[in-house]
Structure 1
Amino acid sequence: MMTTRLETCACFCGAITAEIQGEPFWICYDHDDDCRRAIGSPLTIWVGYKTSQFQLKRGKPKAFSKTRGVSRTFCSNCGTSIGYSDEGIAGEIYLTLGFFDHPEHFPPAAHAYWQLKLPWIEFADKLPPY
């Protein structure tokens, strides 16, 4: 019997929780400087799903947009970054690795915005840079 993958998510304070059904289509390190500033970290890992796979279970994230068409969400209580969506790629949602209850389930497959990587961060992996 085949079962559908189920992942759970929660912000740091637990005010926002979510469930995601199925497999992600994208897991990638991101070295983009806009994401770096928004997340407050030297890099992040985005996990991409179709919006139809994502179900908010509790709470309502606050949204912020600096770039037209891109909405970043976070918990207004504790500040946990949840994810982003982009009108240019409708039907997709990208969640931060830190929002997942089991981040160990999401090994990255590539590096995005490699040319913006901070020079003092080194990787021993052989993942493709984009």
Structure 2
Amino acid sequence: MGNDDDCRRAIGSPFTIWVGVRPGQFHITRGQPKTFSKADGVVRTFCATCGTSIGYCDRALPDEICVTIGFFDHPEIFHPEAHAYWGLRLPWVEFADTLPHVDGYSRVRDAAIGNPRERQKATRA
């Protein structure tokens, strides 16, 4: 699960569950998503009709697309593997499970490109 402050703001929720898929495993079946970016090399997508967050691509993770679990027709088939950004969770967020708590990103990015937080654009709204 992701709890990065930028993700929290983009999703509009205290946390989300990201599902990492290979680019060839995922495609939009109808409509054309809208995009935005606040960090160099990170493109977030959302539904142009209803505003639902779809996911993001990070050029430092060229073989992965991160999709919000709520975007899938059958989210119940996916199971979390870890809680990322555990240290940034809101103080009332707790889970009664034994998943690993990771204080940063749960996926290692290309070191030459760096993490999205290091590539953040200008100021926040």
Provide TM-score, normalisation by structure 2.
Answer: 0.79
Return the alpha-carbon distance in structure 1 between the equivalents of residues 48 and 95 of structure 2. Answer: 33
State the SS of the aligned residue for 2:27. strand
Q: Greater strand share, 1 or 2?
A: 1
Task: Return the offset for 1:92.
Answer: 1.2
1:67 to 39, 43, 60: 39
Aligned partner (choices 44, 57, 71) of residue 29 of structure 2: 57
Which ranges of 4 or more aligned residues in structure 1 deviate by more than 2 Å?
none
SS in 2 for 1:56: coil
Choose the corresponding residue for 1:105, options 73, 77, 98: 77
* Matching residue within 64, 68, 87 for 1:92: 64
- 1:32 aligned onto 2:1: no
**In the alignment, which of 10, 13, 19 is matched to residue 47 of structure 1?**
19
Q: How far did residue 55 of structure 1 move?
A: 2.1
Contact 1:65–1:72 under 8 Å retained in 2 = yes
What RMSD over aligned residues (CA atoms) do the two structures have, in Å?
A: 0.8
State the distance in 2 between where 1:41 and 1:56 align.
Answer: 23
Q: Deviation at 1:31?
A: 1.2
Distance in 1 separating the partners of 2:30 and 2:73: 15
- Any stretches of 5+ residues in structure 1 without a counterpart? 1-28
Give the length in aligned residue pairs: 102
Q: Distance in 2 between matches of 1:60 and 1:118?
A: 33
* Cα distance in 1 for residues equivalent to 2:8 and 2:37: 15
Q: Which residue of 1 aligns with 2:108?
A: none
Is there any run of 5+ residues in structure 2 with no aligned partner, and where? 103-125
**Distance in 2 (alpha carbons) for counterparts of 1:104 and 1:52:** 21
Give the percent of matched residue pairs that are identical in Structure 1 and Structure 2. 65
Q: Give how far 1:115 is off.
A: 0.7
